[in-house]
Amino acid sequence: MISRLFRFRGGIKPASHKAESSAAPIRPAPLPRRLVVPLIQGSRGSARTIVTAGDKVLKGQCIGEAEGAGGTAIHAPASGTVLEIGRYPMAHPSGLESLAIVIEPDGEDRWIATEPLDPASASREDLILRIQASGIVGMGGATFPSHVKLGKGDGISTLLINGAECEPWITCDDRLMRERAVDVVTGARILRQLSGARRIVVGIEDNKPEAIAAMTAAVRESGAGDIDIVPVPTRYPAGGEKQLIRVLTGIEVPASKIASDFGVQCFNVGTAHAVCRALVHGEAMISRIVTVTGNVERPGNYEVALGTPVSHLLEFCGVKAGTSRILMGGPMMGFTLPSTEAPVTKGSNCIIAASPALFPPAPPEQPCIRCGSCASACPVGLHPFELYWLSRAKRFDDASKYRLFDCIECGCCAYVCPGHIPLVDYFRFAKSEIRALGEEQKAASQARTRFESRVARLAREKAEKAARLAAKVAETRAGLAAGDAALIAAAAERAKAQPAVADNDTSPTDPT
C-alpha cells in the first residue's frame, strides 16, 4: 500500500482544457484512402520491410520485421493492397521524409488469423518475443521499445503504471482507462509478471475521477486487490517518468541513471493496454487512441489506424476556420507539424488544431532579467536562465557543464518566464548542436586515424618495396658475381684446352 505521496521539485499548473475532448466516448476514425505506415515507429530502431508493391495484406499482418535488437515490427493497419514503398513526410518537427509502406485499404477489414498467447503458460522468452513481434513501444510518446525496457526481468520490485496524463488538452489515456480498464489491468498484470515486480501502483492525476473509479472497479472485479490505484495531485509534469516515480515512491532517480537501477519500472497505461491486446487477443499494434481537439467541430478521442494521414483525421473531425497551425502532442512538449500529410504513428497521442484565439501568439521576447522564476519551476532542478545565456552565446561546453542534457524539455520554464523567452527552443537548439558537434568530432578522429594509418601503410609499403629492390639488386649482383666467376673459369678452361688446337690450327698460317 502507498502510505504517503511525495512532491517533486518545481512544476506548474496550466489550464487543463481536458473537458473539450474527454466528454465523448472513443469513436473509431474511418479508414483513409491510403495508409502510410513509416518503417520507423520506435525511438531505437526501425523495421525491415517484408512486402513488395502489389502484395495483398490482411489486417494485423506483419509488413515489417524488427531490425536489430532495438527494432520493433510493424503491421498492416487494414486489409488491402500494398501500393508502394516510398518516401513520405514524417511526424517530426523537421518535416523530413522517411521510408513508408503505402497500403490501399480494400474496405473489408479482414483480420489475419490471431494467435493468443496465454501469459500463464508461455515462457518469458516467448512472451517478450511476442511483444517485440507485435510492435509494442511505449505509448506515452517516447516510443521506447517495450521488449528492450523489460530486459532481463530481475531486480524490479515495483511496477508503475503511468496514467497521470499531465499535459493539458490530452485525454486519450483518460478515456482509455474509463472504457477499457479491464484490458489495462490485465496488461499491467502481464507486465508485472514479465518485469518480476511484486506490486503494481497505478498513478492517475486527481483531475480524472472517472478514470480512477473505473480502474478501481476493474481491479476489484478481477479479484485480488494486488493493484494500488493512487490519485496523484494534478501538477504538470507529474506524468514525466521520473516525476511520477518521485511522487509515488519518493525515489529521486538521478539523470545519469534509469528507474530500473532503483527497482522501479514505469509503463504507460496505453502500453499496458497494447500488451493485453497483443498477448490475450493476439492482435498486433495497428491502431492507437488519438485525442483530436482545439479548433475542431467534433473534438474527442478516436481509435485511429496507424498510418492515417493527420489531414484525413482533421477532415473527419471538421477543422474550423481560423486554424493557424496543427500541433502534434500537447501544447507543452508537442511540436508544430510541418505537413498535415504526416501519418499518425505509435507515439502520436494528440492532434491540436491551434488558432490564434486558443493559442495567442507569444508576445515579443524580452531580455532575461534573471528573476529566477524558471529555476523554481524546473522539475529537474536546473538553472534555465544560465542555460539560456550559454545556449544563446553558443557556449556549448559550458552549457553541458550546467547539465543541459538533464533537461526533459517539459516547458515549465518557458511557461513561467515573464519575459516570454522560448527557453525550450534554445535548449533544443543547443542540444542538437552539441550532438552534431560530437558526431563531427567522432568523424574527425576517425578520419585522423585512417589518414595516419594510411600514411603508415604507404611508408611501410615503400620500405618493403625498397627492401625488395635492394634484395633483388643484391641477388643479381651476387648472381652476376657467381656467373662471372663461372664464365672466367669456363673461359680459362677453354683457354687451357686451346693451345693444342691452336698449334694445329695455326701451323698452316705460320709460313705467312
Partner 1 sequence: MLAALLVMTGIALALGAALGYAAFHFKVEGNPLAEQIDAILPQTQCAQCGYPGCKPYAEAVASGEAETNLCTPGGDDGARKLAELLGREFKPRGTPVEKLTTVALIDEQTCIGCTLCIQACPVDAIVGAAKQMHTVVSRICTGCELCLPPCPVDCITLVEEPRTPQNWRWKYPVTGLKVVA
Binding site for partner 1 (CB under 8 A): 40, 90, 92-94, 96, 98, 392, 422, 425-426, 428-429, 431-433, 436, 439-440, 443-448, 450-452, 454-455
Q: Quick one: 14 or 38, whose CB is closer to partner 1?
A: 38
Q: Quick one: 152 or 450, whose CB is closer to partner 1?
A: 450
In the complex, minimum distance from the CB of residue 281 to partner 1, in angstroms, rounded to a whole number: 32
Instruction: Calculate Rg over the CA atoms of the chain.
Output: 35
In the complex, minimum distance from the CB of residue 90 to partner 1, in angstroms, rounded to a whole number: 7
Residue 278 and residue 270: Cα distance in Å, rounded? 12
Whether 246 contacts 235, CB under 8 Å: no
In the complex, minimum distance from the CB of residue 404 to partner 1, in angstroms, rounded to a whole number: 13
Q: Quick one: 55 or 433, whose CB is closer to partner 1?
A: 433
SS3 329: coil
Q: Quick one: 52 or 445, whose CB is closer to partner 1?
A: 445
Residue 138 and residue 179: Cα distance in Å, rounded? 20
Q: Quick one: 393 or 497, whose CB is closer to partner 1?
A: 393
In the complex, minimum distance from the CB of residue 200 to partner 1, in angstroms, rounded to a whole number: 34
Q: Quick one: 13 or 394, whose CB is closer to partner 1?
A: 394
In the complex, minimum distance from the CB of residue 363 to partner 1, in angstroms, rounded to a whole number: 14
The amino acid at residue 143 is T
Whether 221 contacts 184, CB under 8 Å: no
In the complex, minimum distance from the CB of residue 462 to partner 1, in angstroms, rounded to a whole number: 13
Q: Quick one: 111 or 429, whose CB is closer to partner 1?
A: 429
Give the helix ranges, DSSP H, for 144-230: 146-150, 172-179, 181-195, 209-221
In the complex, minimum distance from the CB of residue 268 to partner 1, in angstroms, rounded to a whole number: 22
In the complex, minimum distance from the CB of residue 43 to partner 1, in angstroms, rounded to a whole number: 10
* Residue in 212, 203, 220, 217 with CA at minimum distance from that of residue 266: 203
* Residue in 33, 77, 83, 39 with CA at minimum distance from that of residue 305: 77
DSSP 8-state assignment for residue 484: H
Three cell numbers written together for 243: 516525476
Whether 290 contacts 301, CB under 8 Å: yes
Residue 329 and residue 18: Cα distance in Å, rounded? 14
Residue 96 and residue 342: Cα distance in Å, rounded? 10
Three cell numbers written together for 123: 515462457
Q: Quick one: 104 or 406, whose CB is closer to partner 1?
A: 406
Q: Quick one: 94 or 509, whose CB is closer to partner 1?
A: 94
**DSSP states of 121-148 as a string?**
TS-HHHHHHHHHHTT-B-TTTT--BHHH
Whether 425 contacts 411, CB under 8 Å: no
DSSP 8-state assignment for residue 499: H
In the complex, minimum distance from the CB of residue 492 to partner 1, in angstroms, rounded to a whole number: 51
In the complex, minimum distance from the CB of residue 426 to partner 1, in angstroms, rounded to a whole number: 5
* Residue in 76, 68, 69, 31 with CA at minimum distance from that of residue 50: 76
Q: Quick one: 52 or 441, whose CB is closer to partner 1?
A: 441
Residue 316 and residue 345: Cα distance in Å, rounded? 18
Q: Quick one: 447 or 502, whose CB is closer to partner 1?
A: 447
Tell me how far apart the terminal alpha carbons of the chain are, to the nearest angstrom. 140
In the complex, minimum distance from the CB of residue 287 to partner 1, in angstroms, rounded to a whole number: 24
The amino acid at residue 436 is A
| 3-state SS string for 398-443 | HHHHCCHHHCCCCCHHHHHCCCCCCHHHHHHHHHHHHHHHHHHHHH
In the complex, minimum distance from the CB of residue 441 to partner 1, in angstroms, rounded to a whole number: 9
Q: Quick one: 90 or 150, whose CB is closer to partner 1?
A: 90
Helix (H), strand (E) at residue 456: helix 423-506
Residue 198 and residue 191: Cα distance in Å, rounded? 11
Which residues, other chains included, contact 87 with Cβ-Cβ below 8 Å and sequence gap of 6+?
97, 98, 99, 100
Q: Quick one: 441 or 476, whose CB is closer to partner 1?
A: 441
In the complex, minimum distance from the CB of residue 92 to partner 1, in angstroms, rounded to a whole number: 5
